[in-house]
Amino acid sequence: MAASPQRPPVAVLLLVLLSCLTGGLSIPDPRLREALIRLEDSMQAGGKMELTDAEKRLDALLLKMKQEETARADFPPAMHFFKARDLIRASPIFSVLQKMPKGGALHVHDLSMVDVEWVVKNVTYRPHCYMCFTDNRSIRFIFSSQWPKPRPGCSPWALLEALRAKTKNATDLDNSIMNNLTLFTDQDPEVVYPSQDVVWDRFEQTFQALWGLVTYTPVFRDYFYRGLGQFYTDNVMYLEVRSLLPELYELDGSTHDKTFTLKSYQDVTEQFTANYPDFFGVRFISTVHRGVNMSVMTEVVEEAMKLQKDFPHIMAGFDMVGREENGRPLWYFREALSLPQERGINLPFFFHAGETDLEGTDVDQNLLDALLFNTSRIGHGFALLRHPVAKDLSRKSKVAVEVCPVSNQVMKLVKDLRNHPAAVLMLENHPLVISSDDPAAFGAVGLSYDFYEAFVGFGGIKSHLGSLKQLAMNSIRYSSLSPQHQEKALALWNTKWNKFVSEIAR
Ligand SMILES: [Zn+2]
């Protein structure tokens, strides 16, 4: 077993001892200082990575860019993402990160993969699309060949095509639809979303608004294809997508079961990889809202075990979604979650846990409980630093934390991304991957914005090209792919990486 990277080499300890003995008031030995700096540098993510000459050239370029960026008065990671987005888009580091092969995105939700502008301009312009306005100022949609039945809590349905024909300004209507499908706003986000309660409420409303649009079978397939395209264009070669596996519907109101949904995902993925052979693929994590009761949880765990058995090549495992504070803690569902093990069935868990700043509550125990249930990774793990035992366990058992910086900021867990707890995890080379959670809800696309916040924000000046390389490789190493597939994916990634380095360094 390799020595723990946190343990200083003996030579350094001796130097420290020597310095203490000969110490007094004299200036500390500069060699000791140098050794300690190098020791700390080597402990961080990618700290031990040997860089090629071309990589060193690119690294020097990135360092220069980062120093210039850090010196700015309007430093993007210190600002709310909604205000920082245009500045990030103009950043030379961001353009390098967009081109960088980032490996996989392991924490992405299916209904927030595609920019909402495409949804409005493409999906809502299809025929037979009806819209209604809810009592709590949101909207709902349905595609139907006949006039749909009234929906409780919603205004009478309006055929969008007719509504657009009557409206003087179709752009205003489109913009107002768009605003209902994402949290992103041009107004001051601190005013629009003054608390976690408000932002979570609006967040869940956006999903409900999207639901009727995206779960219509033809749209579902196009939406997912478009989502894969957006990640692929952002140089992401592999995805692990969390999905509620919604029941899809047809124009006549008939519906399909979850197997159909998973098969549709499989078909679209195959179609996409046939068109883009250097895209490695997608695996799915089936999810359920954590607000359900025990009998529903038992049912969905049973269902997930069956799907895992029937689709082992594309099913990665199981997770729960929704705000941790509003749902039930993992421990509440311990009986349902123990079923797979009791029956000797393999159902890997990928629990969201520690996406909270409420220290010491029942929900705050989710991190330890996730590890007790042998979770394969931890979604967010924002509270990990406040759980030294969980942190130690996740390091020792190589349970990677899926860090989603933009999400954590928009959902109001941290204001200035330099202060994100993953700064510590990165400095210790804790197993972690960077992901984007719900990019469309946050006005982001793909994965590069999150890499920017990680690299420029909490990575500080110290994180370098080796750190980026490590993070990209982590996304394959900590994926649910089999060891053989990981080797194949790493080989593919490596070819992409070398091409990227030689092109940019030139
Ligand atoms: Zn999530």
Label residue 2 by pLDDT band (50, 70, 90). Answer: very low
Please report the pLDDT score of residue 19 as a whole number. 59
Mean pLDDT confidence for 492-503: 97
* CB neighbour class for 67 (10 Å; exposed up to 12, middle 13-18, buried from 19): exposed
User: Can you list the domains of the chain with their CATH numbers?
Assistant: 81-109+230-505 (3.20.20.140), 117-203 (no CATH)
What is the distance between the alpha carbons of residues 33 and 12, in angstroms, rounded to a whole number?
10
Residue 93 has pLDDT above 80, yes or no: yes
pLDDT of residue 465: 98
Tens-digit pLDDT profile for residues 124-158: 999 999 999 999 999 999 999 999 999 999 999 99
Q: How far is the CA of 238 from the centre of ligand 1 (A)?
A: 17
Mean pLDDT of the chain: 94
> From start to end of 389-435, where are the E strands?
400-403, 432-434
d(CA 477, CA 411): 28
Ligand 1 centroid – CA 229 distance (Å): 20
Q: What local confidence, expressed as pLDDT, does residue 358 receive? A: 86
- What average pLDDT score do residues 307-332 get? 94
Residues annotated as catalytic (active site), given as ranges: 355, 380
Tens-digit pLDDT profile for residues 362-379: 888 999 999 999 999 999
Q: Out of 7-21, 342-356, 361-375, pick the least confident.
A: 7-21
E-strand ranges in 90-143 read 104-109, 129-133, 139-143
Instruction: Find out whether 78 and 416 touch, Cβ atoms under 8 Å.
Output: yes
The secondary structure of residue 8, as a DSSP letter, is P
Q: What is the pLDDT of residues 219-269, one digit of tens each?
A: 999 999 999 999 999 999 999 999 999 999 999 999 999 999 999 999 999
Rg (CA), the chain: 24
CA gap 319, 285 in Å, rounded: 7
- Separation of CA 440 and ligand 1 centre (Å): 13
In the predicted structure, residue 20 carries a pLDDT above the cut 80 = no
Q: Are 458 and 448 in contact (CB under 8 A)?
A: no
> Has residue 6 got a pLDDT over 80?
no
CA 238/CA 284 separation, integer angstroms: 11
> What is the CB-side half-sphere exposure of residue 331 using CA atoms within 13 A?
10
Question: Of 24-33, 172-181, 192-201, 311-320, which gets the smallest average pLDDT?
Answer: 24-33
Q: In a 3-state reduction of DSSP, which class is residue 212?
A: helix
